[in-house]
């Protein structure tokens, strides 16, 4: 396949005027469908992704169009399906392996970390692994400790893997199409709580380059970097902060690997303050990595300590009240940023 010119693709959502509105789930399906039509080497395997259309309707209609030869249900065997996908990629195909719940990628970490990420390197470039692992993370409706994890930092830690965490319907389509044109293994993590959200998505083809953050809201007092479902909560918090006279710039990295450091650092140079909002835990997570980047590369720009607003260090629960307490809320984001604004170095 020829190289794709991503530079010509829009990285910012176009004007909503005359744009259709579809859900996050529909946008993902549409992106996969377009790429499967374009590239006959792409096939899709996973648990319940065939006639049922996936737990979250993330593959709805694909089995009817492409048939069982290219869209096939698998047993609940994450390690086997991941190993099969990696082998198929090495043999010339471009598989999508849908683990469904991010939590159960743990069953296949040996294949992902030890094999998929290293083969291109240890083969001196002779073998490529065009492979997408698709999974849904995050807590929603009190799904408890086994179905609520957001450990995207596990994968961002490993050289050789690319990691995408889209937060809008527009982004999920543009990023999934880009990921399916990449010759490297891509970990594509969607948030369960976003599948039914709606947004403007163009009907014409577009791609979003990896490594290009999106500034959702301009601001002058504090840079707020948020991921996944936390982007919407950060935007809600920014509205409330504005009422207090605090101007927050909200940035979504969109991909964690590659990471658009320049956009974040340029914003920090303007605002002098950094708050990172992540549904994952703070310890050894993406919030810690972003804080380290700011401390190493923009220390002189900081006018206040870096703030990490993350899930509290406890397992998710089935209690709606407790679970809501653990995960960053709009109110907690507002309170912690208000407190930070009163601190100086």
Q: CA–CA separation, 273 vs 189, rounded Å?
A: 28
Query: Could you identify the residue written with the tokens 């009817």?
Result: 64
Would you state the structure tokens that stand for residue 11, as one six-digit string?
């990285």
Sequence-distant (6+) residues with CB within 8 A of 271 are: 219, 220, 221, 222, 223, 249
Tokens encoding 244: 């207090």
For the chain, the maximum distance between any two Cα atoms, rounded to a whole number of angstroms, is: 61
Cα distances (angstroms) measured from residue 127 to each of 94, 109, 112, 124, 157: 13, 20, 16, 8, 22
Rounded to whole angstroms, the Cα distance separating 81 from 135 reads 13
Distance CA 156, CA 159 (A): 8
Which ranges of 200-285 would DSSP assign to H, the alpha helix?
230-243, 261-271
What b/e readout covers 137-146, taking b as 16+ CB neighbours within 10 angstroms?
A: bbbbebbeee
Burial class, 278, CB count within 10 angstroms (exposed 0-12 / middle 13-18 / buried 19+): buried
* Residue 112 burial by Cβ neighbours in a 10 Å radius (0-12, 13-18, 19+): buried
Q: Which of 94, 120, 147, 316 is catalytic?
A: 147
CA distance 240 to 246: 9
Catalytic residue at 191? no
**CA pair distance 174, 209, nearest whole angstrom:** 8
Contact of 171 with 263, CB cutoff 8 Å: no
Do the Cβ atoms of 222 and 275 come closer than 8 Å? yes
Question: What positions carry a catalytic annotation?
Answer: 147
């Amino acid at each position: 396949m020829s190289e794709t010119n991503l530079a010509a693709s829009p990285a910012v959502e176009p004007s909503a005027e005359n744009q259709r509105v579809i859900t996050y789930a529909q946008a993902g399906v549409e992106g996969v469908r377009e790429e499967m039509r374009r590239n006959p080497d792409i096939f899709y395997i996973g648990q319940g992704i065939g006639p049922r259309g996936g737990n979250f309707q993330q593959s709805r209609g694909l089995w009817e169009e492409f048939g069982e030869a290219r869209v096939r249900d698998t047993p609940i065997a994450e390690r086997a399906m991941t190993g099969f996908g990696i082998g198929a990629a090495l043999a010339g195909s471009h598989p999508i392996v849908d683990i469904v719940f991010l939590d159960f990628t743990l069953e296949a970490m040996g294949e992902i970390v030890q094999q998929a990420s290293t083969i291109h390197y240890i083969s001196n470039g002779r073998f490529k692994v065009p492979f997408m692992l698709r999974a849904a993370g995050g807590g929603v409706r009190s799904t408890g400790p086994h179905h609520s994890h957001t450990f995207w930092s596990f994968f961002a830690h490993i050289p050789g893997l690319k990691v995408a965490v889209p937060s809008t319907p527009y982004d999920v389509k543009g990023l999934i199409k880009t990921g399916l044109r990449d010759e490297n293994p891509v970990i594509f993590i969607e948030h369960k709580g976003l599948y039914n959200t709606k947004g403007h998505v163009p009907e014409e083809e577009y791609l979003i380059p990896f490594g290009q953050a999106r500034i959702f809201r301009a601001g002058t007092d504090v840079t707020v970097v948020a991921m996944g479902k936390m982007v919407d909560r950060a935007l809600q918090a920014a509205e409330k902060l504005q009422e207090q006279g605090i101007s927050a710039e909200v940035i979504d990295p969109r991909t964690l690997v590659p990471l658009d450091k320049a956009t974040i650092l340029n914003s920090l140079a303007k605002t002098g303050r950094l708050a990172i909002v992540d549904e994952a835990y703070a310890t050894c997570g993406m919030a810690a990595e972003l804080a380290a980047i700011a401390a190493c590369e923009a220390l002189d720009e900081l006018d206040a300590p870096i703030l990490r607003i993350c899930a509290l260090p406890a397992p998710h629960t089935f209690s709606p009240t407790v679970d809501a307490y653990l995960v960053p809320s709009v109110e907690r984001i507002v309170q912690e940023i208000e407190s930070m604004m009163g601190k100086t170095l």
